[in-house]
Amino acid sequence: MTDVPRPIADAEHLPPEALRAAQQERFARQIAYVSASSEFYQTLWGPQTPRGAKTPPIRLEALVELPLTDKEALRADQAAHPPFGSYLAAAPDQVSRVHRTGGTSGHGMNLALSATDAATTATIGARAQAASGLGPGHRVIHCLSYQLWMGGYTDHATLEATGATVIPYGVGDTERLVETIRELRVTAISCTPSYPAVIEQVLAESFPALRPRDLGLRLGLFGGEAGLDNPAFRERLENTWGFKARNANYGVTDAFCNFAGQTEVDTDLHYFAADVMYPEIVTPDDGEPVAWTEGATGELVLTHLVRECQPLVRFRTGDIVTITGTGMAPCGRTTPRFRVIGRVDDMVVIRGLNVFPTAIAGIVNRVSDLSGEYRIVLRGPAPYDRLPLEVELAPGTTAGDDIAETLARTIKRELGVTAHVQTLPARTLPRTAHKTQRVFREDQRAFPIEEPSP
């Protein structure tokens, strides 16, 4: 695609009418490009879509006339048309960079970026990191895997785009990480919300004279998993480390590595990609459109307005979100805000009630005698009449029965479900620098995924 539109300077402060005009212009251009260049969408749309549209719409309001796509459809397409799938709309020699998703089973997905795609990705991600407080004068150590995963090098590029000095550390060898932070006088860390617990354990075992706040970090930039929306977890993290903790890195790797984050004055996620990617929400069960209004909840669906290599149209992310604001935010930005409630595939149904791990985390993290680590262990097929929950005691705490009973009563009162709570000794559950799995099915628990040792 020639003359690809670039991200709009200061798009996060655009008046709504100016943003809408830019979205409409970019959508018309992008849908024409996809129609002409993507075999996958040519096949999917065919001569007539399920909603009766004979051709792809050129008006943004008519986007709902097109069918939804999802990860499984893309996975099957890529398996049938390796290595990038028939939804690769650009010529293969335009692919500038390749990443791969982890994959829950079998082979991961190959993600292709053109040079323009990569530059746009860095710009959008930098908006989120900068809004969280990162910029010139910071030295940020990046502790996500660089082995093909988007979160490694691509997030590194977003951090650099803020003007900060970036130290590409990766994962593993946490003792050396502690030494590096001290030697280089690092001021910020980029990692998953789970990783500080790994560092805390290493400090206790190998650097007993050091407390986490002694490392001098002023800013914690987190992403890759839930946690930072929970006030108790955030407070515990900030009190332990002495830094400001922010979710600065929310993304969907198939669409954009990072397109939303918290600001210095607001804990909602701000949507920073409105000039290059259009969001919708739909009902998780049947995919029916839900109006994008404050208070609405649904599954997040994304459509690229600017993308060369693997453009997506009405892509179901699997994330359930609640829209928390559509007008001007407290920080002065006009970007819409939202919170992630959970993932469709992590939702557990107990006697007809939907329970997300994030709701459990919100309760567990309020209990001072618990470490905050937990997991839901599902034995046998659904339906389930109780929530089987394992929680870990805080160091120095031994009286687990009373805590389990109190926690079960709180879960019943606040979530309406009966929980069977089992307490585990301190430091029983694994810590990881990668995404922490919270829901275990019986077949998964027999062979847990081993992570690199701290």
- In this prediction, residue 103 carries a pLDDT of 54
124-174 pLDDT, tens digit per residue, is: 999 999 999 999 999 999 999 898 888 899 999 999 999 999 999 998 899
Instruction: Give yes or no: residues 69 and 128 share one domain.
Output: yes
377-390 pLDDT, tens digit per residue, is: 888 777 788 899 99
pLDDT at 446 over 50: no
Q: Output the pTM of the full model.
A: 0.82
Instruction: Give yes or no: residues 323 and 228 share one domain.
Output: yes
- In this prediction, residue 145 carries a pLDDT of 87
Nearest by Cα to 255 from 298, 344, 346, 317: 317
- The domain that holds 403 is classified in CATH as 3.30.300.30
- Residues 204, 205, 209, 211: what is their CA dihedral angle, to the nearest 10 degrees? -30
293-312 pLDDT, tens digit per residue, is: 999 999 999 999 999 999 99
Q: Which domain holds residue 387?
A: 348-445
314-327 pLDDT, tens digit per residue, is: 999 999 999 999 99
How far, CA to CA in Å, does 307 sit from each of 12, 57, 311, 442? 19, 18, 5, 40
Q: Is residue 266 part of a domain?
A: yes
Q: Is residue 450 part of a domain?
A: no
Distance CA 200, CA 103 (A): 29
Instruction: Give yes or no: residues 433 and 301 share one domain.
Output: no
Tell me how many domains the chain contains: 2
Question: Which position has the higher pLDDT, 273 or 54?
Answer: 273
- The domain that holds 211 is classified in CATH as 3.40.50.12780
Instruction: Give yes or no: residues 221 and 364 share one domain.
Output: no
* Residue after which a domain boundary falls, among 322, 342, 362: 342
pLDDT (mean) for 188-208: 93
92-104 pLDDT, tens digit per residue, is: 999 999 999 865 4
Q: Is residue 140 part of a domain?
A: yes
pLDDT at 346 over 50: yes
Q: Is the peptide bond before 336 cis (omega within 30 degrees of 0)?
A: no
pLDDT at 13 over 80: yes
392-402 pLDDT, tens digit per residue, is: 998 888 776 78
Instruction: Give yes or no: residues 429 and 284 share one domain.
Output: no
Instruction: Give yes or no: residues 275 and 390 share one domain.
Output: no
**Which range is least confidently modeled, 2-6, 264-268, 448-452?**
448-452
Give, in degrees to the nearest 5, the angle at Cα 84 between 83 and 88.
150
Q: Is residue 451 part of a domain?
A: no
402-433 pLDDT, tens digit per residue, is: 899 999 999 989 888 899 999 999 888 877 65
Distance CA 343, CA 320 (A): 6
Give the mean pLDDT of the chain. Answer: 89
Q: Is residue 185 part of a domain?
A: yes
Cβ neighbours for 11, distance < 8 A, ≥ 6 positions apart: 19, 22, 127, 272, 274, 275
Q: Is residue 453 part of a domain?
A: no
Mean pLDDT: which of 134-138, 231-235, 447-451 is highest? 134-138
Q: Is residue 394 part of a domain?
A: yes
Q: Give 422's strand partners.
A: 390
* Residue after which a domain boundary falls, among 342, 372, 407: 342
Instruction: Give yes or no: residues 188 and 99 share one domain.
Output: yes
pLDDT at 176 over 80: yes
Q: Give 271's strand partners.
A: 260
Q: Is residue 162 part of a domain?
A: yes
pLDDT at 368 over 50: yes
Nearest by Cα to 124 from 218, 226, 5, 227: 5
* Residue after which a domain boundary falls, among 278, 312, 342: 342
Instruction: Give yes or no: residues 292 and 361 share one domain.
Output: no
Instruction: Give yes or no: residues 231 and 360 share one domain.
Output: no
- In this prediction, residue 453 carries a pLDDT of 34
35-46 pLDDT, tens digit per residue, is: 999 999 999 998
Q: Given its phi and psi angles, is residue 396 left (phi above 0), alpha (psi -120 to 50 degrees) or beta?
A: left
pLDDT (mean) for 365-369: 87
Instruction: Give yes or no: residues 332 and 379 share one domain.
Output: no
Instruction: Give yes or no: residues 334 and 403 share one domain.
Output: no
Mean pLDDT: which of 43-57, 233-247, 377-391 is highest? 233-247
Nearest by Cα to 143 from 133, 134, 132, 152: 152
Instruction: Give yes or no: residues 34 and 176 share one domain.
Output: yes
